Chains A and B, each alone.
Chain A
Amino acid sequence: MRVIRIAVTVLATAALVYVGGWPNGPLPAPGSFLDPVHGVWSVATSTDPPRDDRLIVDGLQSEVEIEYDDRGVPHIFATSTEDAVWALGYVVARDRLFQLELQTRATAGTLTELLGSDALDADRFQRQLGLAWSADREWAALDRGSPAARLVTAYAGGVNAWIDGLASSQLPFEYHLLGFQPQRWDPVYSFYLTRRMGYTLTYSTIELWRDDVVQRVGDGATDGLFPVNAPIQEPVQPGGRENYPWFDTSPLSPPSLPSLLSPMSLLSPLSPLSASNNWVVSGARSSTGFPILAGDPHLNLSLPSIWYEVHIVVEGELDAYGVTIPGSPGLLIGFNRDVAWSLTNVGADVLDYYREDFDDLAAPTQYRLDGVWERLERRIETYRDPSGKTIAVDSMYHTHRGPVRVVGGTPYSLRWTNLDGFAGKTSTAFAAAARATSVAELADAFRELYPSAQNIVMADRHGSIGIGSFGWFPLRPDGAGVRSKDGTTRSADWSSRWPVETYPGAIDPRQGYLASANQQPLDPFDNAAYLGVNWPSPWRAMRINRLLREDSSVTPDDMRRFQTDPGNERAELFVPLFLEAAGERSGVAFDILRSWNRRFVREDTVAVFFERVMDEIEARVWDELLDDPSAESSRRVATPSEQVLWRVLQQADSPWCDDRRTEETESCATIVDQSVERAFQNTVERFGQPGVAWRWERHRRQNIHHLLRIGPLSRLGIPVQGGSGNLNPSSGRGTHGASWRMVVELGPQVRAQAIYPGGQSGNPVSDWYDDRIDKWQVGELDDVLFPESPGRLGERMIGRLTLLAGGGQ
């Protein structure tokens, strides 16, 4: 009997120790997870900014004072730039440590070490692109005394000081969940972030999938579908034509017969969702007589947000406020006492694919160049799981141009500005911008901005406004980058960059305002040099330009309202086309469109139908681009932008309107007619009769996912005003949108308002985790506090942290 009792207690104890001590699949080990002192529950004790802490830390030259306001924003007061950047690393790590690690691992391709083999494909892709590889090389070659190296080293010092002093209760929630400890921060990780942003903003595969389109519709037609010049022009740089927007209504080249060649493997083009707005009005067009600038970058929305808000003061040197991305040693968008700036993506073509000739495709060692075999650089990439076990090993290859990808059996090498050694220059460019005192100085600073070309809108308190497209724009020997290039000759390599003086831009234009929204920066009427291809439809650019043209006395509150303006130029252009095609035809569907005010407010009951009409028309017009036209359901190999669709519909008998899957030859009017009717039936079938069931807010919502897409940590189904093509765009899965909204008035006293959808803290039970979402949802902004010295926050100060220099490094 005793033996049985002993056996039972031994087994029970062993089972509990095993269950408590080891993770079970994705579940953390319960013993340490549930521990009320060191486990997940302790996360609840670290939700607030520091009350009034004084810490002695190594790595600072002198004391740094950090005051937190009631929005959770740290105001850093330091006596040197390096101390300020060190403190920035410290406060960012305090609030966003897991985000720092996750984005670093995502770039380095080491997510498998955190998440297991589910992340292997993502890691392989990242390593193939060579983002971390190129950043490591840049860092290795960088003079440690250079301004860029000193910035990222100081930042790393702050991050690591936080990690080294981390109590278990300060370990972010996600580490408890994954059963991990944070890795230390290497200075090069700041360069990883620059590469990551470069990937998000400039990576493109158009040269690869374009061949697929060519085989379906011919070369000439493909040029028309994915044009170098946008058919609707509303350029960033005010253009030389008399009126804007300018519309190219000339017929598109018809599709030619499909090629007998079998198409290469499908490469889905990236969804063209990257979008942002910025604009500025001069004092002559503002109600206050001072320039007002609005920033409105759109990115994937996440919790915590991609942005972190901070104010940095270095006595006599720097006094700037704005947002940084965790990992970046400075502000990326913001203002100081003299200037303000904000960014949108240029969308320039800064990546080319070269078809390479290898000696052996299965195990290559050399590639042919100008008739000579050159040695391929090879790197071995090893992937490990959370236990450290090797789960895969890959060989990656590089030519002198960059990393190699094999697509459809053809090796391509990538030449991409994002892999050049420019991350350091990017850091120093933004550091210089934060110190600028005029638009001219801002422009000088941003001329050093390289990998991710940006349209930067600028204003200063002397009354000047400006805009410029800054980046490293390559000059190609053939003048264009639309097609993949012959890699067997050096003569196909980039020769140099655009001369800086030819960059798109304007300072103090007569019109008194400037705006960008990812549209083609230069009207080819003014400058036809190749900058990019397949520009996004300029609906947002048209809208903001219309609003700014019509209002000659803009207030800061107008600027705020414009950010969520419900007007939609896309609907303004397409609906009249639909009605014109319908002629006198009546019927519920057309009557609904006729009576629609085309405003994407939450209560609207037509927008949902309009979107279905657009889908139906695209499905009929772009039938030539279906992967398999004979199949009942087949996806398109690529979809031209809506401005190209609009151009097609200008021509009543455009051959593109004919649906080749039917025996009849359809005109555009027939296609519109069929699409409107079908969309109506479809909408009724899906949502019921027109009315409340069609309310926009029921169907179009923003979804802000947690970084690991954990449901209870996400905020999903947020109804907002706006839709596809609106200044506040809401399309696709609703995961993309206005990531930071800012309005700055540059009078004698700088006034600013801003918001982002989330909160400063990465702790999901903190009051500052998602506290801004409600105001963001309805388009409101917070007043920003911009004190000149410590102790000026008054009642709105909720915490203080004093970092004392400990002497060590």
Chain B
Amino acid sequence: MIRRVIVLGIVMAALTWFIGWWGVLIGSIGWGLVAETHTNPARTAALAAAGAWSVLLLSTAMQGPVWTLAEMLSGIFGMPAVGLLVVTVMFPALLALSSAALMGELRSLRNK
């Protein structure tokens, strides 16, 4: 399970790097199509996406004042800085979860 999450996370990070946030959607759709149903591909995709964006965010934070930026954005959007960081990680997780689950459902429908 952990290995799958890590591998998929690397793929999603790479896709995000090259094509932006759509990479999460493409990566999780792909994962939903190829992953074994019993391995719970949706959960794996969600964890991988959250992990990928967390690592990318961490990498950005190592290059500049992300927390200062989060505080500034929190003032603009009227939500806590931590909340913005959580949303940044939750958004790809939810997107990956739903799209991988959808693909899993469609695949099992075809197999039936």
Chain A interface residues (CB < 8 Å from chain B):
2, 5-6, 9-10, 12-13, 16-17, 20, 27, 30-32, 34-47, 177, 710-713, 764-765
B82 within 8 Å of A (CB atoms): no
> Which residues does chain B contribute within 8 Å of A765, judged by CB atoms?
64-65, 68-69, 72
Q: Would you call the interface of chain B mostly helix, strand, loop, or mixed?
A: helix
Per a CB cutoff under 8 Å, which of B21, B64, B91, B106 touches A44? B64
A–B pairs, 21, beta carbons within 8 Å: A2-B109, A6-B105, A6-B106, A9-B105, A12-B98, A13-B95, A16-B95, A17-B95, A20-B95, A32-B21, A36-B57, A37-B20, A39-B21, A40-B73, A42-B60, A43-B64, A44-B60, A44-B64, A712-B72, A712-B74, A765-B64
B66 within 8 Å of A (CB atoms): yes
> Which residues does chain B contribute within 8 Å of A34, judged by CB atoms?
21, 87-88, 91
> With contacts A45-B64, A712-B76 known, what are 14 further pairs, Cβ within 8 A?
A6-B109, A12-B98, A16-B94, A32-B20, A36-B53, A38-B20, A41-B57, A41-B60, A44-B60, A44-B63, A710-B76, A712-B75, A713-B72, A764-B72
> Which residues does chain A contribute within 8 Å of B87, judged by CB atoms?
30, 34
User: In the complex the two chains form, is B22's CB within 8 Å of A31's CB?
Assistant: yes
Which of B64, B75, B106, B108 is the most central at the interface, judged by chain A CB atoms within 10 Å of its CB? B64
User: In the complex the two chains form, is B61's CB within 8 Å of A37's CB?
Assistant: no
Closest to A14 in B: B98
Closest to B21 in A: A31
Cα A710 to Cα B73 with chains together (Å): 10
> Which residues does chain A contribute within 8 Å of B53, judged by CB atoms?
36
User: In the complex the two chains form, is A16's CB within 8 Å of B66's CB?
Assistant: no
Chain B interface residues (CB < 8 Å from chain A):
16-17, 20-22, 25, 53, 56-57, 59-61, 63-66, 68-69, 71-77, 87-88, 91, 94-95, 98-99, 101-102, 105-106, 108-109
Distance to closest chain B CB from A4 (angstroms): 10
Cα A765 to Cα B72 with chains together (Å): 8
Cα A42 to Cα B17 with chains together (Å): 12
Distance to closest chain B CB from A27 (angstroms): 8
Distance to closest chain A CB from B19 (angstroms): 9
User: In the complex the two chains form, is B21's CB within 8 Å of A9's CB?
Assistant: no
> Which residues does chain A contribute within 8 Å of B63, judged by CB atoms?
44-45
The 3 A-B residue pairs whose C-beta atoms are closest, nearest first, are A712-B75, A44-B64, A9-B102
User: In the complex the two chains form, is B75's CB within 8 Å of A13's CB?
Assistant: no
User: In the complex the two chains form, is B105's CB within 8 Å of A36's CB?
Assistant: no
> Which residues does chain B contribute within 8 Å of A39, judged by CB atoms?
21
Cα A39 to Cα B57 with chains together (Å): 10
Cα A2 to Cα B20 with chains together (Å): 32
User: In the complex the two chains form, is A13's CB within 8 Å of B99's CB?
Assistant: yes
> Which residues does chain B contribute within 8 Å of A44, judged by CB atoms?
60-61, 63-66, 68-69
User: In the complex the two chains form, is A10's CB within 8 Å of B102's CB?
Assistant: yes
User: In the complex the two chains form, is A35's CB within 8 Å of B20's CB?
Assistant: yes
Distance to closest chain B CB from A637 (angstroms): 39
Which of A32, A177, A765 is the most central at the interface, judged by chain B CB atoms within 10 Å of its CB? A765
> Which residues does chain B contribute within 8 Å of A764, judged by CB atoms?
72
User: In the complex the two chains form, is A41's CB within 8 Å of B69's CB?
Assistant: yes
User: In the complex the two chains form, is B21's CB within 8 Å of A35's CB?
Assistant: yes
User: In the complex the two chains form, is B16's CB within 8 Å of A46's CB?
Assistant: no
Closest to A41 in B: B60
> Which residues does chain A contribute within 8 Å of B94, judged by CB atoms?
12, 16
Distance to closest chain B CB from A577 (angstroms): 47
Distance to closest chain A CB from B57 (angstroms): 4
Cα A31 to Cα B20 with chains together (Å): 8
Per a CB cutoff under 8 Å, which of A5, A13, A38, A43 touches B69? A43
Closest to B71 in A: A712
User: In the complex the two chains form, is B98's CB within 8 Å of A16's CB?
Assistant: yes
> Which residues does chain A contribute within 8 Å of B74, judged by CB atoms?
712
User: In the complex the two chains form, is A40's CB within 8 Å of B69's CB?
Assistant: yes
> Which residues does chain A contribute within 8 Å of B71, judged by CB atoms?
712
Closest to A39 in B: B21
Distance to closest chain A CB from B80 (angstroms): 13
Which of B77, B87, B94 is the most central at the interface, judged by chain A CB atoms within 10 Å of its CB? B94
> Which residues does chain A contribute within 8 Å of B75, judged by CB atoms?
711-712
> Which residues does chain B contribute within 8 Å of A6, judged by CB atoms?
102, 105-106, 109
> Which residues does chain A contribute within 8 Å of B65, judged by CB atoms?
44, 47, 765
Cα A267 to Cα B20 with chains together (Å): 51
> Which residues does chain A contribute within 8 Å of B98, judged by CB atoms?
9, 12-13, 16
Per a CB cutoff under 8 Å, which of A13, A27, A31, A36 touches B60? A36
Closest to B13 in A: A37
Per a CB cutoff under 8 Å, which of B57, B76, B91, B106 touches A20? B91
Cα A47 to Cα B91 with chains together (Å): 26
User: In the complex the two chains form, is B88's CB within 8 Å of A36's CB?
Assistant: yes
Cα A20 to Cα B16 with chains together (Å): 14
User: In the complex the two chains form, is A20's CB within 8 Å of B21's CB?
Assistant: yes
User: In the complex the two chains form, is B88's CB within 8 Å of A41's CB?
Assistant: yes
Distance to closest chain B CB from A770 (angstroms): 12
Per a CB cutoff under 8 Å, which of A17, A20, A46 touches B64? A46
> Which residues does chain A contribute within 8 Å of B88, judged by CB atoms?
34, 36, 41
Cα A177 to Cα B99 with chains together (Å): 27
Cα A502 to Cα B66 with chains together (Å): 59
Cα A34 to Cα B105 with chains together (Å): 29
Distance to closest chain B CB from A705 (angstroms): 14
User: In the complex the two chains form, is B101's CB within 8 Å of A9's CB?
Assistant: yes
Distance to closest chain B CB from A180 (angstroms): 16
Which of A34, A38, A710, A712 is the most central at the interface, judged by chain B CB atoms within 10 Å of its CB? A34
Distance to closest chain A CB from B12 (angstroms): 11
Closest to B54 in A: A36
> Which residues does chain B contribute within 8 Å of A10, judged by CB atoms?
102
Distance to closest chain B CB from A564 (angstroms): 30
Distance to closest chain B CB from A580 (angstroms): 51
> Which residues does chain B contribute within 8 Å of A41, judged by CB atoms?
57, 60, 66, 69, 88
Cα A162 to Cα B71 with chains together (Å): 29
Distance to closest chain B CB from A771 (angstroms): 14
Cα A17 to Cα B75 with chains together (Å): 26
Which of A2, A32, A44 is the most central at the interface, judged by chain B CB atoms within 10 Å of its CB? A44
Cα A38 to Cα B76 with chains together (Å): 20
Distance to closest chain A CB from B10 (angstroms): 14
Cα A14 to Cα B51 with chains together (Å): 22
User: In the complex the two chains form, is B60's CB within 8 Å of A45's CB?
Assistant: yes
Closest to A5 in B: B105
Cα A161 to Cα B36 with chains together (Å): 50
Closest to A710 in B: B76
Per a CB cutoff under 8 Å, which of B60, B73, B99, B106 touches A37? B60
> Which residues does chain A contribute within 8 Å of B109, judged by CB atoms?
2, 6
Cα A519 to Cα B46 with chains together (Å): 68
Closest to B57 in A: A36
Cα A39 to Cα B22 with chains together (Å): 12
> Which residues does chain A contribute within 8 Å of B108, judged by CB atoms?
2
Cα A525 to Cα B35 with chains together (Å): 94
Given A41-B88, A44-B63 in contact, is the A13-B17 Cβ separation under 8 Å?
Answer: no
> Which residues does chain B contribute within 8 Å of A31, judged by CB atoms?
20-22, 91
> Which residues does chain A contribute within 8 Å of B102, judged by CB atoms?
6, 9-10, 12-13
Cα A435 to Cα B16 with chains together (Å): 51
Distance to closest chain B CB from A5 (angstroms): 6
Given A2-B105, A9-B101, A45-B63 in contact, is the A36-B20 Cβ separation under 8 Å?
Answer: no
> Which residues does chain A contribute within 8 Å of B72, judged by CB atoms?
712-713, 764-765
Distance to closest chain A CB from B79 (angstroms): 12
Closest to A43 in B: B69
> Which residues does chain B contribute within 8 Å of A45, judged by CB atoms?
60, 63-64
> Which residues does chain A contribute within 8 Å of B25, judged by CB atoms?
17
Which of B25, B59, B65, B102 is the most central at the interface, judged by chain A CB atoms within 10 Å of its CB? B102
Cα A34 to Cα B70 with chains together (Å): 11
Cα A17 to Cα B17 with chains together (Å): 18
Cα A44 to Cα B16 with chains together (Å): 18
> Which residues does chain B contribute within 8 Å of A27, judged by CB atoms?
77
Closest to B87 in A: A34
Distance to closest chain B CB from A781 (angstroms): 27
Cα A446 to Cα B45 with chains together (Å): 67
